[in-house]
Structure 1
């Protein structure tokens, strides 16, 4: 549900890490370099269409820079409701008609959002796109927000709050601990706000933030002319709206927690100020450092215990198979978060938190060999499962939003390989110097984890 804006999201199709959307019985298509066509309408909407070779499915994304950071006053929680109501009745089609027809055609319509963006994506066979594109337009820009449908979704949203995985909860809390300002807004609607949400609040949020100058339309496997026609139907006016006023968020280095009770498994997240997607060269450096630290486990079998942690973070696990460490990098338009995420049993939570804080304080000691390994990991992760058309379409939309042109894997790999190890080491030392200002979030046995001040003193 939370779409993290890492370098693997902004780089082009072929650089996703989700599972493949193809059945095993089909041969994997041979994707070559994409042919990408781009344009910009007079009202500010940016359009791009990529033509991969051998695509079995097509995807089209309408993306707005209208994430939860743009919610104010009685709009707090609007993004959660927009995700929940994406399949509801629109101005042209009922919810039943849309969902039934999409299923009959083997298509899907998804909505995802984070603190920066909200995306509506249609996935369908290329031959069905001319008929199904109106469902995408209806869901993204013409939702009615009928009061009775909003009331029906309130129960679902309350259940969503109970189903939040601990790992996602701790990352959400970390960003509340990290920022003072709009970026501290959660991607979930707090329980106290659910019953108070109205159709007027949702319509006001959409009218204020679903603007043409922050809208991008991208497609994979759809002709450019068809993509352009869809973009022209979003807004008939040709003039560009005046610039939107945006509130600034400031890093505060706070401490947030969610107690799951004594002796429960505990997740600890530590973060410092990172880089935004507006600076692609620096974003790549942050991503290389995260990959060099270790971004996950290497799968060795079919079971959770068959994973080998990536060094050097993996070396801190020791003999405990239940303890995990990994680095992450989250980016928004103008800023971001770089940090570490750790999981452990309650008995080891204190030592694991201290070890993670010490590693963050010494991340500047990465060697050239570890950085080179990080580059290889990043390239490998970004080239896995290149046939996921939904992520590819959203990736292209993010490129448009950030004025980045990376049409094929060769360009992106070249940028990674050409990044100087000396520059990466300098940035790693800068990250280490900022560790005393880190933010901390804990989910689990809160009493077993030292307060952030003690963690900072320990480093």
Structure 2
């Protein structure tokens, strides 16, 4: 019987101070986009929310790491809030918490984002601390060395489904986008302050930066972007083409966690990216009814007879490529049949108009719901701004979803099914190898 995998942050990891309950606003707001002469992208929107959110984003995620500094983006994420050129760690924490605001650093394989959120007056009062944390790092060696315990904890508490997604990227891209979101154990304590400063100097430049304000004055968002103290330049992004492959990590236990995916869509190809998201929903992302155990997706209907399992389709879009596929969890004894069934679905999904229409309806509901939640909305807008140079409003995205046809989704499915990538972790005694699957 199909069930749902817990929807944790599989593609983005965060570190933050305090927690704010999201207060939603309207979803039919327009976005204003501007590109400054130094190529910083500025996007702002008024969603009539009581909570304002401002983000500074740099294209400095894990894909930019090299063999010499693997894990530097994880250390950088964990360093958010340490002393800067003009403020101590204590001063940053005290001032932000005293006004009831929240400062969070999140990162994925392409971007690092610093987000300040709180009541509008509170955000305006502590806005200088956002720019300090995002652009004025000094990385004092005694503060950096104290991060080792946090880094070890981050690695220790990773759920196995997150580990499977990490391995999936490693198998699919090898380097670049294949780099983990977490520092390898052998590099803990070896990322020096000089390495961090060099990484920041190389990637925290104007041509790789974006500033997003949601529920915040467009003029003040523009003023913040103009005041950023970053070097002018575009930096360098190394190509990371999809290659495919297989990675296995036998950890024992009772369950097998298996991620299977093919090449997806780039964020810069909007139509294909939306079609990939519809395909994800058509495959099934878990029950849409509270306490439900079925999602009526294509995967669940096709594999349900193989035994007990949990599943969720996955879709990751990057600036030049992507991944789309499924994540499975099954008891070790039945994992083989479940994986074989999932592979058959991905290679020949047999999509119907009903599957696509259901996927479109679910995707539109999810997107509009995310844009009601300001915390998720600012992340979505920030990723678009940093990676594509602009951002689509909720209404524009909904229109793009409506324009998708069954043919568009079938084309994405065919592209993904040509060459599949496999990653598995846990008890793999019954998980077939990639070359054994037809």
- Are 1:298 and 1:307, in contact at CA under 8 Å, matched by a contact in 2? no
Residue 270 (structure 1) aligned to one of 246, 256, 260: 260
TM-score by length of 2: 0.91
- Structure 1 residue runs of 5 or longer lacking an equivalent are 6-18
- Are 2:51 and 2:119, in contact at CA under 8 Å, matched by a contact in 1? yes
The residue number in structure 2 matching 1:16 is none
The residue number in structure 2 matching 1:15 is none
Distance 1:168 1:32, change over 3 A: closer
Distance 1:269 1:219, change over 3 A: same
Residue 185 (structure 1) aligned to one of 165, 179, 186: 179
1:357 aligned onto 2:351: no
Distance 1:216 1:134, change over 3 A: same
Distance 1:273 1:32, change over 3 A: closer
Inter-partner Cα distance in structure 1 for 2:258 and 2:380 = 29
- Cα distance per residue 1:368-424 (max 9 Å; x no partner): 1111111111111112254322222222222322134422x3322221112222332
The residue number in structure 2 matching 1:10 is none
1:442 aligned onto 2:421: no
Superposed displacement of residue 328, structure 1: 1.4
Q: Secondary structure at the match of 1:269?
A: strand
The CA RMSD over aligned residues, in Å, is 2.2
Superposed displacement of residue 283, structure 1: 0.5
The residue number in structure 1 matching 2:45 is 50
Inter-partner Cα distance in structure 2 for 1:335 and 1:56 = 37
Q: Secondary structure at the match of 1:61?
A: strand
Residue 332 (structure 2) aligned to one of 331, 335, 346: 346
The residue number in structure 2 matching 1:165 is 159
TM-score by length of 1: 0.87
- Cα distance per residue 1:290-311 (max 9 Å; x no partner): 111112222433xxxx433332
> Paired residues, what number?
424
The residue number in structure 2 matching 1:286 is 276
1:328 aligned onto 2:296: no
- Are 1:181 and 1:247, in contact at CA under 8 Å, matched by a contact in 2? no
1:256 aligned onto 2:247: yes
- Are 2:148 and 2:188, in contact at CA under 8 Å, matched by a contact in 1? yes
- Cα distance per residue 1:59-117 (max 9 Å; x no partner): 00000111111112432111100111102111121111211222222111111111111
- Structure 2 residue runs of 5 or longer lacking an equivalent are 1-7, 13-18
Superposed displacement of residue 160, structure 1: 1.0
- Are 1:297 and 1:308, in contact at CA under 8 Å, matched by a contact in 2? yes
- Cα distance per residue 1:303-344 (max 9 Å; x no partner): xxx433332212245379951122111111001111111111
Inter-partner Cα distance in structure 1 for 2:10 and 2:294 = 26
